[in-house]
Each structure stands twice: as C-alpha cells, then as structure tokens.
C-alpha cells in the first residue's frame, strides 16, 4: 500500500479526507491501532510522505548490498510503571519486536526522551535503567539518544521514542502479504495480558488482579523458529488493537479470509474476568510479548515445536487458519458452532496502553 506524493492536497484549505469522522480533529481513537489509525495513515500520512512509506510496523530497505529493517515507536503509557514492567521495558521490547516481526536480527536502538519539567530525576533514572537492562537482556545496543524538556502542563511525565535497526537474513521474507489460504495461525501464548495489567493500576480503575504485563523481546523466539527451518509467511506482535486488529490487517493486506477457532483462544481466566468487569473484548486488548505466526500447514508442527521449546513460546497454540472464503475478513467459530465476525476495532478500547 504505497502512494505517490501528491501536491494536490492543500492542507491550508482542507476538507478532511479522512472518512467516517464527524469532526476534523484528532481524537483518542486515531492512536488506537484500529480502523481510525489506519485511516489516518492511508488518507493523511501516506499522501503527505509519498511513495516510500511502509504501512507496516517496520520497513525493510536495501543497504550496503544487504537488507536492513528500520522501525520506530513512541510510548505514552499511563501509568509509566505497572505490574511486570515500565515504559522503559516497552520502549526497548516493542521496537525490537517490530524488527523481529520482519525476520530481522535487531542490532541497534536509538532512544529519545520527552520530559515534562518537574519530573523527578529518580523517575527518569528508573526508566533509563529499565531501558538499559532490557537492551542488555536482549543483546541490543542503545547507540544514540536525545532529550527534550517541555514546560509543566505541556507533557505528562515522560514520553519515549525508540527507533531500531536490524539486519534481515538473506532469503528471509516475512510480511503480511504472504499470508495464504491453508496457512495455520499460531499464537505464542496467553492473550490480553499487557492491557489488563496496565488497566489494573490506572487511576479510577484500580482492581485486584494477579496479571502482570507480558512485555518481552521476541527476536530470540523468532530466531528459534527460523533456525528450526519453519517456513514462516507472516509474523505480527498484536499490540494496540490486540489480536483483532492484527488479524484484520493481515487479512486485508493478503486478501485472505481468517477463520478463528474461538474455544482455542488462550485467554486466561484472570484476563477474561477483567474483560467482563471492564466491558472489553480480550481480542482487542494489547499484548507486548506475544506473536502471531502464519505458517503453511506442513510447517506448523516444526514451528510449534520450536516455539514450545523456547521460554517465550511455551504456550504456543494453533488458533485458526487462513481460508479462501470471506477474503479480508476475520470470522470466529464459537464453541456452540456459530460464527461471528471479528471486526477491526474502530477507535481505542484502552487509550495510552503503550
């Protein structure tokens, strides 16, 4: 999905081409990873930037006779510390994961802080330490950074941005468009854990739960899968917008249908309970240490074995398959034998979750 840079868009006298919106203003849903985010990218950013932008979470580009992957993400999670991690962990692991989902070996990270005036330096230090520890654990180098300070009232504690660079091994091409009818859909473990962990400590919502964020760097899990010789078509970490958004994006990109087996979805009771309490759909809740893998049926046993032999894939399980029917749509078969459409989330169930 690329488009030529067009000088025809006159933003000075602009009648908001982003569809379905009542007001020509940014709303929280534009940051939710769902349909509104996609519209903003398609109708505003891509025409403005031109032909070269990758619509995915990382871009694979040629360099020095090889291929590298480049990725960036900002982090605005609130609160900054939550059960199982912090904004610093997310910033490192999230960007590593975006690179890993294109099959790249992550090597280098940049990290930029936007600090609100008045933030305790000890808080900045705790976050920076989390960044350093997560990078060291993942074997990735933080090589450059930046710091900006905004006046009190203009920020909200700490925002982070990480960008990452990795090398894509020769012969590896992992991208959404490769999903094909017959592919098996695997998830590496429990669904919805990160989102619920963050919500459980959010002001006004605090509730008792034993759920901790699953934030983790997944590149070694991917390496295990590729090392085992599995033919991996697509990888995706289902963060903002959850499994529902990721599967819908892949279905549309590859023009295949995706059929989910609802009873197979590994949703822990604690997540299911919290979702009931908050009125959420677990399929739309963010994960920060899980991946979805699309592999041809004949590669599935190999992929599953490799995943289950890795600590971050111990709970790997098949949750569905790609089908020729209903291209572009995700349909779940329920325990009672019925079907329901799993829609692309429109806006944002859980704002500022990452």
Q: Using the minimum distance from each CB to a second copy, give the nearer residue, 30 or 310.
A: 30
The reply to whether 277 sits near a second copy by the rule CB under 8 A is: no
The reply to whether 118 sits near a second copy by the rule CB under 8 A is: yes
The reply to whether 272 sits near a second copy by the rule CB under 8 A is: no
Per-residue burial over 292-320, b if 16 or more Cβ lie within 10 Å, else e, is bbbbbeebbeebbebbeebebbeebbbbb
Applying the rule CB under 8 A, the residues between 80 and 109 that interact with a second copy are 107-108
Candidates 34, 85, 103, 155; binder of a second copy (CB under 8 A) is 155
Applying the rule CB under 8 A, the residues between 294 and 333 that interact with a second copy are none
- Report residue 264 as tokens: 């197979």
Q: How many CA atoms lie within 13 A of 75 on its CB side?
A: 27
Nearest distance from residue 123's CB to a second copy, in Å?
8
Candidates 1, 59, 180, 323; binder of a second copy (CB under 8 A) is 59
Applying the rule CB under 8 A, the residues between 19 and 38 that interact with a second copy are 21, 24-32, 37
Candidates 1, 83, 112, 177; binder of a second copy (CB under 8 A) is 112
The reply to whether 141 sits near a second copy by the rule CB under 8 A is: yes
Task: For 163-178, give the DSSP string.
Answer: EEEEEPPTT----GGG
The reply to whether 137 sits near a second copy by the rule CB under 8 A is: no
Nearest distance from residue 21's CB to a second copy, in Å?
8
Does 79 sit behind a cis peptide bond, omega within 30 degrees of 0 on the bond before it?
Answer: yes
Phi, psi of 338 (to 5 degrees): -80, 180
Q: Using the minimum distance from each CB to a second copy, give the nearer residue, 315 or 351.
A: 351
Interatomic CA distance for residues 91 and 95, integer angstroms: 6
Which distant-in-sequence residues (6+ apart) come within 8 Å of 283 by Cβ?
Answer: 191, 192, 242, 243, 244, 265, 342
The reply to whether 173 sits near a second copy by the rule CB under 8 A is: no
How many residues form the binding site for a second copy (CB under 8 A)? 92
Candidates 1, 149, 180, 323; binder of a second copy (CB under 8 A) is 149
Nearest distance from residue 259's CB to a second copy, in Å?
30
Which distant-in-sequence residues (6+ apart) come within 8 Å of 337 by Cβ?
Answer: none
CA angle (209 as vertex; 208, 215 as ends), nearest 5: 135
Nearest distance from residue 156's CB to a second copy, in Å?
4
């Amino acid at each position: 999905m690329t488009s030529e840079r067009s000088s025809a868009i006159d933003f000075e006298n602009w009648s908001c081409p982003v569809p379905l919106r009542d007001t020509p203003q940014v709303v929280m849903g534009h940051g939710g990873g769902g349909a509104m985010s996609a519209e903003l990218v398609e109708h505003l950013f891509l025409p403005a930037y031109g032909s070269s932008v990758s619509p995915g979470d990382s871009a694979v580009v040629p360099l020095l006779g090889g291929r590298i992957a480049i990725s960036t993400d900002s982090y605005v999670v609130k609160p900054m510390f939550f059960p199982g991690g912090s904004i610093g962990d997310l910033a490192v692991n999230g960007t590593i994961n975006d690179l890993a989902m294109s099959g790249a070996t992550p090597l280098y990270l940049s990290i930029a802080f936007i600090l609100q005036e008045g933030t305790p330096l000890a808080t900045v230090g705790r976050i920076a330490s989390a960044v350093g520890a997560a990078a060291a654990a993942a074997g990735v180098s933080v090589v450059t950074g930046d710091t900006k300070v905004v006046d009190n009232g203009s920020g909200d504690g700490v925002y982070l941005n990480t960008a990452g660079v990795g090398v894509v091994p020769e012969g590896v091409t992992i991208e959404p468009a490769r999903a094909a009818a017959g592919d098996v859909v695997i998830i590496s473990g429990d669904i919805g854990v990160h989102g619920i962990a963050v919500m459980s400590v959010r002001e006004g919502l605090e509730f008792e739960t034993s759920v901790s964020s699953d934030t983790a760097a997944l590149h070694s899990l991917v390496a295990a899968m590729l090392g085992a010789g599995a033919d991996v078509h697509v990888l995706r970490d289902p963060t903002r917008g959850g499994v529902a958004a990721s599967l819908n994006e892949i279905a549309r990109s590859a023009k295949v249908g995706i059929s989910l087996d609802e009873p197979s979805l590994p949703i822990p009771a604690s997540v299911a309970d919290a979702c009931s309490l908050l009125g959420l759909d677990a399929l739309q809740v963010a994960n920060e240490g899980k991946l979805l893998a699309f592999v041809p049926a004949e590669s599935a046993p190999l992929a599953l074995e490799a995943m289950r032999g890795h600590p971050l894939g111990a709970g790997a399980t098949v949750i569905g398959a790609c089908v020729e029917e209903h291209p572009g749509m995700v349909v779940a078969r329920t325990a009672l034998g019925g079907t329901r459409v799993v829609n692309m989330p429109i806006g944002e169930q859980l704002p500022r979750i990452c």
